[in-house]
Amino acid sequence: MASALFSPLELRSLTLRHRGWVSPMCQYSCDPETGEGVPHDWHLMHLGSFAAGGAALILTEAAAVNAAGRISPRDAGIYNDEQAAGWERITAFVHRHGAADAKVGTQLAHAGRKASTYWPFSGKRGSVPASDGGWETVGPGTKAFDGYAAPGAMTAADIDGVIADFAAAAVRAVDAGFDTIEIHGAHGYLLHQFQSPLINDRTDAWGGDESGRNRLTLAVVDAVRNVIPDSMPLLLRISASDWAEGGIDAAASVRLASAAAEHGVDLVDVSSGGAVAHQQIPAGPGYQTGFAARIRREAGVRTGTVGLLTSPGQAEHAVATGQADGVFIARAALRDPHWWLRAAFELGHELPWAPQYERAIPRHSF
């Protein structure tokens, strides 16, 4: 039988050779001393290995749309020409060496109140002080995230500025050769902060009811959609549940996804959590696929699923049963950058190999 995972998918004018993709994974590896937010050889190696490994779509780590939007001082950006040039080198490499005609997209992001933090392997935790290269953060209000510095409440002018920054970053992404763009509206970062009633207590047009809380996300979608080619697909990552009482739930996420599709989003990348520290996540294999399935069914939009999907059989099942249109692989790809070549072999599908590696094509076992 033909593999569902290894069937092609068309998003606008973009054809993906199969439905096994690379999830955005922050590397915290930019060097502020040699170029703030500029991707370099590490990023080329990291993303290029997935291209050689047979991934059909590779999403970069979160690329901040302005300096204050970086998660840490070592995070990547796409808010200046030097950064865009660094990304252009990587997109050209992926397009040239992708074994499965790999496509590459970037994830545009702003960390909001979760910005200016120490990177995971720094040996420190919490907000980075100005003396160590940190900066003041912003958010919908002044509520701080679990031990981090309190953000400044964004004014209407601040919000307009961030929307414009997303649009400007999208233009740079197109010019840098990306095939698609994902807007990061999940994991407790700025857009999710505005969406969640656990965080957003504004009483103006950018808060209040669900429509007001979703307004910034949809405004960013509109701004990006208006500056990228009509032929380019637009993705949106959301947290389908806050996993905390009074927060976002699956029904609210269906409504957001439906609205996003009406505004020009072509696929919703469905994750969850990250808004508050007291979340209770029942993590396990495929624990988020139910959200993707419900959004796909009720909102009528294509979805990608992610989260503890590590085996080819799990990924195949998610697509074959209609739970999602594609599967984003993260930690399993770090363990095995050739995950897609192995998956194709196990599922009985012939996937092209880089010619330099053809001598290793398995005949009986991988």
Name the pairing type of β-strands 9-11 and 14-16. antiparallel
Question: Which residue, 66, 63, 70, 65, is CA-closest to 86?
Answer: 63
**In this structure, is the dihedral angle defined by the CA atoms of residues 297, 299, 300 and 301, taken in order, positive or negative?**
negative
Q: Which of 28, 118, 189, 287 is catalytic?
A: 189
Whether 97 contacts 61, CB under 8 Å: no
Distance CA 330, CA 237 (A): 14
List, in order, residues 6 or more apart from 321 with CB less than 8 Å away: none
Taking Cα atoms as reference points, which of 137, 142, 140, 77 lies closest to residue 113? 137
DSSP 323-337: S-SEEEE-HHHHH-T
Residue 28 known to be catalytic: no
Compute, in degrees rounded to 10, the torsion defined by CA atoms 54, 57, 62, 67.
110
Structure letter (DSSP) for residue 113: G
Give the separation between CA 39 and CA 93, rounded to whole angstroms. 13
Positions marked catalytic: 189
